[in-house]
Copies of this chain bind each other. A is one copy, B any other.
Amino acid sequence: MRSTFGKNLIVSIWGSSHEPAVGVNIEGIPIGTEIDMDALQAFMNRRAPGNSPFSTKRTEADIPLPVGGLKAKAPGIMVVTEDCISLKILNTDVKSSDYKSLHHIPRPGHADYTARLRYGDEINMAGGGPFSARMTAPLCIAGSIAIQMLARKGIEVCSHIYSVGNIKDVPFDPVNIKAPAADFPVLDEGRGEKMKEAILEASNASDSIGGIVEAAVVGLPGGIGGAMYDGIESALAPILFGIPAVKGVEFGSGFNASLLKGSENNDAFYYDDQTDEIKTRTNNHGGILGGITTGMPMIIRLAFKPTPSIGREQDSVDLEKKENTKLTITGRHDPCVVVRAVPVVEAAIAVGLMDIILEQTPSK
């Protein structure tokens, strides 16, 4: 498998950044499932470029167009009529000239060099080719549909910018998740303002900056996932690491758990009298024990490296002349991928979870 993820909800991404369209084929959504196209569009808008000063200047409407397997049912509502549905979004603001010189001078931190090693010279790398952040747009189509499917089961996915550089938002309270107010998704607006400053500062310095996204899943029943390689972390990690620029993934207390004693990290069980459910008083386990959900909120954090495309001159090599050279990248790039990555993270989690849930509870 390559541009395809999943065993039960099978998401295949096609097209590329500088072709007429990018799209997604999705197999495994139960026939008859309704899709709220307005909610889908609203979700796409969260990721769409050109919506804020913190993202690339490329402007794309990112309107999902049905290609197959869908039928209009009511205003704004489509229904799935085939096992494989297909949707696409058009690429309207393409400037391929920006990428000419990159053909033989690989950008540091990018896949230009490795793509050629792996796939040879004929690979379409215009706009980043399969490594482009634009490929996350079709993932968001699938993700938004998965989020709608999860919502019908009472499961919600939300996330916020946990950090930009060394500026941290307040973390989720892991036993009592509160979704951030949208727009610039942070829990503490004041820290959000500081993040914006840091991004603009990097941008003005022809530089970029990294960050962390923290996501939570609420309402997930216990008993999802499985032992060993059937574990929920093993199932989610491939789609999470498939998001461009992700360098680390952690669940629950994550790397911080390495600093703790067992007596600190263990979450005590108790009966919640009001709901008659078994819960834990703390949630260092992030809703997962032994690869299986406990019913507590699932907590995931993803580290994003700073955008490798920066305006400063950098050292590289000329693959044709076989010598060292300097490279200055032009083109339009996000100074901090984390902002637009927030919905992408939610999309990836939702697709991964629905894939697992459909395995355990197939609708048809």
The interface of chain A, by Cβ under 8 A from chain B, is: 1-5, 7, 10, 12-16, 19-23, 25, 27-28, 30-32, 67-69, 71, 79-86, 106, 108-111, 113-115, 117-124, 129-131, 135, 163, 165-166, 202, 205, 207-212, 222-231, 233-235, 237-242, 244, 246-271, 278, 280-281, 284-286, 288-294, 303-310, 312, 314-317, 322-324, 359-362, 364
Contacts and interface: CB of A to CB of B under 8 A. Distances in A.
A268 B229 contact: no
Q: How many copies does the complex hold?
A: 4
Nearest to A316: B269
A103 to B, nearest CB: 13
Given A108-B268, A120-B31, A129 B258 contact: no
Nearest to A227: B130
A85 B25 CA distance: 12
A260 B308 CA distance: 11
Contacts of A284: 305
10 contacts: A2-B229, A4-B84, A12-B12, A25-B25, A114-B288, A135-B228, A237-B237, A242-B291, A256-B303, A257-B305
A171 B309 CA distance: 28
Nearest to A105: B269
Nearest to A360: B362
A202 B261 CA distance: 8
